[in-house]
Structure 1
Amino acid sequence: MLHWIKSLLVLSFLFVASVRADPLQKSFSDWQMTCNNAAFCVARNIPGDNGLVMTISRHAGVNDRPLLRIDYGSAYSGELPGGDLKDNLLIDQRRLKPDLKHWTVEPHHLATSNAIAIDEFLDLVMEAKSLQLTFDPKALISLRGMKAALLLMDDVQGRVNGMSAWIKRGDRAIWDVPPQPKVPALPEALPQPAALTREETSGLIDYGTWRVNTDSCSLDPMRREVSVSPLTDTKALLLVSCEMGAYNVIDLAFEVTREQPYVARGISLTLPFTPPTINERQLELINAEYDAATGQLYTFGKGRGLGDCGSASRWQFDGNSFVLAEYAEESTCDAWHSSDDWPTLWVSQSRSTPQQR
């Protein structure tokens, strides 16, 4: 009887403390929080164009690998002038002197992955309004929204009311958290296809320029750019530019037989989730590039010319369609980081690399 009651309690806990694996990106006042399908979450203050940013990240499960960092200067601003962060931080206009024993300390970068050090620092700043620099009052981290962002992070990872929670802490043991959600495995990479011959390339580019069905293209055929790559030994990928802006080109994609008479099939990219800014699952091929050696297709949609915001994705060809491998998005245009460092909303597990001929 006692064993049966314990089983019911365990099942009840598993129902309540579950990990949400739906990707999300939300803003809370001056903070933005992003979680991917593995329930890895990262929060930071926005905007970052004042040069000073605090970033807090954490994985789901017991092996949470937390990280808290404060950075002055970005990839866009470069190194900024001024004294060391450790000696020049203010919290609500008062000197902040954190214990940095378990921190990596550089002149303009402070970071720690020590759980106790992170807890201690969060206790110092949780109820404050701002962090700023003594020598640059404009370099300010607003703390409005940080608590709400971290509470959602705890909720997504099933930590609320547990000892591992950062905000709403309870008595549940620190190890008593749901495991990290499994991420999907990519299909096995296909053998690298034979390179296109000069005749194949010439014929397919001519077909893509004048004869493939591009009724939805707004660009005049004379202004369209056509690229062609081998998909398999019998099929090729045609990318035809159809709309062009200041810094984005939207393509149509077609799978075409490599030999005449050409038979074309339109290719579309369907996301397994709905992104926060697009609100639909059909993804346009923006600034698309295809790597025939790996069978991977890349898209990169810039939110503005600087390339500090937008979305980027990577897809794996499985012989019939493209499967999403990774999706990253930065909705805040604040000159903080480039696409290599945008927060991810979707990740996957690679199985193998293509066989070489």
Structure 2
Amino acid sequence: MSYSTKSLLLLPFLFVASAHADPLQKTFSDWQVTCNNLNFCVARSMTGENGLVMTLSRHAGENDRPLLRIDYGSRYSGALPGGSLKENLLIDQRRLNPDLKHWAVEAHHIATSHTISVDEFLAQVLDADNLQLTFQPQATLSLHGLKAALLLIDDVQGRVNSQSAWVKRGERLQVPPEPAAPTLAPPPTPAALTADETRDLIDYATWRINTESCSLDPMRREVSVSPLTDDKALLLVSCEMGAYNVIDLAFEVTRRQPWTARGLMLTLPFAPPGKSEKPMELVNAQFDAAKGELYTWAKGRGLGDCGIASRWRFNGEEFVLAEYAEESSCDLWHSSDDWPTLWVSQP
């Protein structure tokens, strides 16, 4: 969520039955759509650099919990000067006066989860060109691609020709149920590493493990070691370094001599946007031994407004994907904790 979001609406993510869906992230003109493995979809306008952004989200199934919001200003810009949104929105150069009876209203943030209010607002904007602020003409929100984005959401959630569709509405009442969230096995609870184990394994990773493909000099590599089970440990070794990302190698190694190491590969259960391969590099990796979870965070640029974040849980044998988020639009809108999700699991 963007600036001041939590003060507007707090809508819980509740998940119900059936098999997971294929995640996607696509762009239609000036709109981006992301749908995760539960068919929860988010569409937002670009670019946030203008300060004015509209976002629509919806869960699959009958309990769809729609959310429409318009924001002026983000965490990157902070609060911006100017009048209130409710009195200063233009649609194609004409004054827009939405009925805000069922909206949460702040000076620069308005939002509604009221189904009829969402439908009424979309009826006004679906075929328009743009929204604009009277006091800041440069703050323009393009509506080109909005209809295609919402039609994709309708299609993904099986709403086309149903009464709940946003674009191609029909008479059908029923829609497919929301897919079930994957269940993760609890991680092992291994004994902590002793000081001797830690020292020996770090020495082993620094000088003896096979890192011939790494460009970093051994003296500059960072090594971390954590317990996986009572017999195995996780070694993370920095391998390549860029301006704001470090690519790591991961090894499963025995905790006692003679040490044997096995390289670990993270494999996604889906092909991420724009790619055909499922293996994933460990970028800026960190392991939380208490939770048995491995985190990665690949920044698209130094500001951190775009990139990929993932969370994996060790089940005793392998790391299983728990969460994956990606923001492909570097437009000063989303920080990493708000990047749209393509994969989620049961909390």
Whole-Å separation in 2 of the counterparts to 1:337 and 1:42: 13
Whole-Å separation in 2 of the counterparts to 1:277 and 1:74: 27
Counterpart amino acid of 1:281?
A: K
- Which among 323, 326, 330 is matched to residue 329 of structure 1? 326
Whole-Å separation in 2 of the counterparts to 1:55 and 1:346: 19
What number of residue pairs does the alignment pair up? 330
- Which among 290, 293, 308 is matched to residue 293 of structure 1? 290
Whole-Å separation in 2 of the counterparts to 1:26 and 1:116: 27
Whole-Å separation in 2 of the counterparts to 1:261 and 1:68: 59
Match of 1:126 in 2: 126
**Deviation larger for 232-241 or 54-63:** 232-241
Q: What is the deviation of 1:188? A: 2.2
- TM-score, scaled to structure 1: 0.91
- Which among 216, 220, 224 is matched to residue 217 of structure 2? 220
Match of 1:45 in 2: 45
Whole-Å separation in 1 of the counterparts to 2:48 and 2:129: 17
Q: What is the deviation of 1:349? A: 1.6
- Which among 275, 299, 303 is matched to residue 300 of structure 2? 303
Contact 2:188 2:228 in 1 (8 A): no
Contact 1:38 1:182 in 2 (8 A): yes
Instruction: Give matches, 1:169-208, under 5 Å.
Output: 169-173=169-173, 176-191=174-189, 193-208=190-205
Match of 1:92 in 2: 92
Match of 2:32 in 1: 32
Whole-Å separation in 2 of the counterparts to 1:189 and 1:241: 25
* Structure 1 alignment gaps of length 5 or more: 1-17, 351-357
Q: What is the deviation of 1:86? A: 0.4
Q: 1:322 to 1:20 in 2, by over 3 A?
A: closer
Q: What is the deviation of 1:301? A: 0.4
Whole-Å separation in 2 of the counterparts to 1:277 and 1:227: 32
The structure with the larger Rg is 1
Q: What is the deviation of 1:183? A: 2.1
Whole-Å separation in 1 of the counterparts to 2:50 and 2:211: 45
Q: What is the deviation of 1:261? A: 1.4
Over the aligned positions, Cα root-mean-square deviation in angstroms equals 1.2
Counterpart amino acid of 1:298?
A: Y
Cα deviation, 1:110-159, whole Å, max 9, x if unaligned, reads 00000000000000111110001001111111000000000000000000
- Which among 192, 202, 206 is matched to residue 209 of structure 1? 206
1:259 match: secondary structure: coil
- TM-score, scaled to structure 2: 0.93
Whole-Å separation in 1 of the counterparts to 2:309 and 2:47: 20
* Structure 2 alignment gaps of length 5 or more: 1-17
Match of 1:146 in 2: 146
2:48 match: secondary structure: coil
Match of 2:265 in 1: 268
- Which among 233, 238, 242 is matched to residue 235 of structure 2? 238
Cα deviation, 1:53-109, whole Å, max 9, x if unaligned, reads 000000000000000000000011111111110000000011100000000000010
